[in-house]
């Protein structure tokens, strides 16, 4: 076959959303983590580069991460080109991406490469995949750690990550009731109504995070807060707690919970910024230096190298502490495969991305 016969698939978020189901999403990342546990996959630490921006209290950020899975035959590179701004919402400091690209949009891409030929197989936006991969990872943590009879969930947040966590958490445990809290009353009411309509699970907006957590079997925080949104003293025997970033967790939770597992021991990012701006650039959040090696990772739970819950009374905690390139390889390949099967997307010549000059 000539190079000009090879095609690269271009996808959009709507097409990816059509192709990725709850089942194939859960299956894709569970297989990916099994491969990671058995040395069949690779992760590369996240790199984040910052520059000052012309708007006050904002910075430009370029982030990249990659990872590959041998059995899938792919490596994925995920990049984001963002404008970051900080603002106060209630008692929380929120880090928000500003939609300053054309038409009030954002820039984030996943590039999928063949590890057999090196060719570019697909280019797709990272938006739906990003939300899905975090929700799926948290759900796999809950599958390994939450009580099998968990019926009530507290969900803190009302954005895209909260939506994804609602979908996948309720898919791995028999949730019959969800309590929603976010600082904006209108947002949480709207979100609760939408989730109840879409998932057919009774969903109630409540007035505080503490009220949401009370008597819940699963507690899930899915926010962009820079401060804790769930307090350790609220966690009671039998609960499972899930947090999607260490900024929104109470440090005391790591010691209070009987069983703690994390997503990745890689921990923090590689940060790069102009010399002398370390204290001045807004939106630069640095994770606290800590020894992550004391905690098992998600793949350890999935393959049985580490135990999750061993007693109904234990408080378990899965900290989805940092993203990983291997997630984008697993989810990117699942989207690519499903879209190819459904005839979704547009194809362009792969030859556009190749050259005869040896780099």
Q: Residues 268-282: pLDDT tens digits?
A: 678 888 988 866 777
- Give a yes or no: residue 278 inside a domain: no
Same domain, 146 and 179: yes
Q: Exposure of 185 by Cβ count < 10 A (0-12 exposed, 13-18 middle, 19+ buried)?
A: exposed
Same domain, 124 and 138: no
The Cα 4–Cα 129 span in angstroms is 29
CATH number for the domain including 29?
A: 3.30.1780.10
Same domain, 330 and 314: no
Chain mean position to CA 278: 27
Q: pLDDT tens digit string along 137-195?
A: 999 999 999 999 999 999 999 999 999 999 999 999 999 999 999 999 999 999 999 99
The Cα 48–Cα 64 span in angstroms is 7
Same domain, 180 and 296: yes
Q: Read off φ and ψ for residue 36, nearest 5 degrees.
A: -65, -40
Residue 19: which of 95, 100, 98, 129 has the closest Cα?
129
- Give a yes or no: residue 50 inside a domain: yes
The Cα 177–Cα 166 span in angstroms is 11
Same domain, 66 and 155: no
Rounded to 5°, angle at Cα 208 from 285 and 322? 30
- Give a yes or no: residue 58 inside a domain: yes
Going through 194-245 in order, the beta strands assigned E by DSSP cover: 203-205, 218-221, 240-243
CATH number for the domain including 221?
A: 3.40.50.720
Same domain, 119 and 146: no
Same domain, 111 and 160: no
Count of domains observed in the chain? 2
Q: How many CB atoms lie within 10 A of CB 103?
A: 5
pLDDT band at 2 (very low <50, low <70, confident <90, very high): very low
Q: Exposure of 248 by Cβ count < 10 A (0-12 exposed, 13-18 middle, 19+ buried)?
A: buried
- Range of the structural domain that residue 193 is part of: 133-268+284-319
Q: How many CB atoms lie within 10 A of CB 196?
A: 16
Instruction: Please give the model's pTM, rounded to 2 decimal places.
Output: 0.92
- Give a yes or no: residue 358 inside a domain: no
């Amino acid at each position: 076959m000539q190079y000009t016969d090879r095609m690269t698939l271009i996808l959009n978020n709507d097409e990816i959303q059509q192709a990725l189901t709850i089942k194939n999403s859960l299956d894709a990342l569970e297989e990916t983590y099994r491969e990671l546990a058995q040395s069949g996959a690779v992760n590369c630490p996240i790199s984040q580069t910052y520059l000052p921006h012309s708007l006050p209290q904002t910075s430009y950020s370029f982030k990249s991460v990659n990872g590959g899975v041998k059995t899938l035959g792919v490596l994925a590179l995920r990049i984001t080109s963002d404008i970051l701004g900080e603002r106060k919402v209630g008692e929380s400091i929120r880090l928000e991406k500003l939609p300053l690209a054309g038409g009030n949009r954002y820039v984030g891409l996943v590039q999928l490469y063949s590890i057999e030929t090196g060719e570019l197989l697909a280019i797709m936006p990272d938006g739906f995949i990003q939300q899905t991969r975090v929700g799926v990872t948290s759900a796999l943590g809950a599958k390994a750690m939450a009580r099998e009879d968990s019926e009530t969930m507290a969900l803190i947040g009302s954005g895209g990550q909260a939506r994804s966590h609602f979908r996948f958490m309720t898919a791995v445990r028999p949730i019959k009731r969800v309590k929603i809290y976010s600082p904006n009353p209108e947002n949480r009411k709207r979100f609760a109504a939408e989730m109840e309509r879409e998932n057919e699970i009774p969903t109630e907006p409540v007035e505080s995070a503490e009220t949401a957590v009370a008597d819940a079997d699963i507690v899930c925080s899915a926010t962009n807060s820079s401060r804790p949104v769930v307090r350790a003293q609220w966690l009671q025997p039998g609960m499972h707690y899930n947090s999607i970033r260490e900024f929104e967790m109470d440090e005391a939770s790591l010691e209070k919970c009987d069983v703690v597992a994390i997503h990745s021991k890689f921990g923090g990012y590689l940060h790069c910024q102009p010399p002398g701006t370390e204290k001045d650039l807004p939106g630069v959040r640095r994770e606290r230096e800590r020894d992550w090696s004391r905690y098992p990772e998600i793949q350890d739970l999935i393959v049985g190298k580490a135990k999750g819950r061993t007693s109904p009374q234990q408080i378990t905690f899965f900290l989805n502490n940092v993203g990983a390139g291997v997630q984008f390889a697993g989810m990117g390949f699942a989207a690519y495969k499903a879209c190819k099967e459904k005839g979704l997307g547009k194809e362009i010549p792969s030859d556009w991305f190749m050259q005869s000059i040896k780099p």
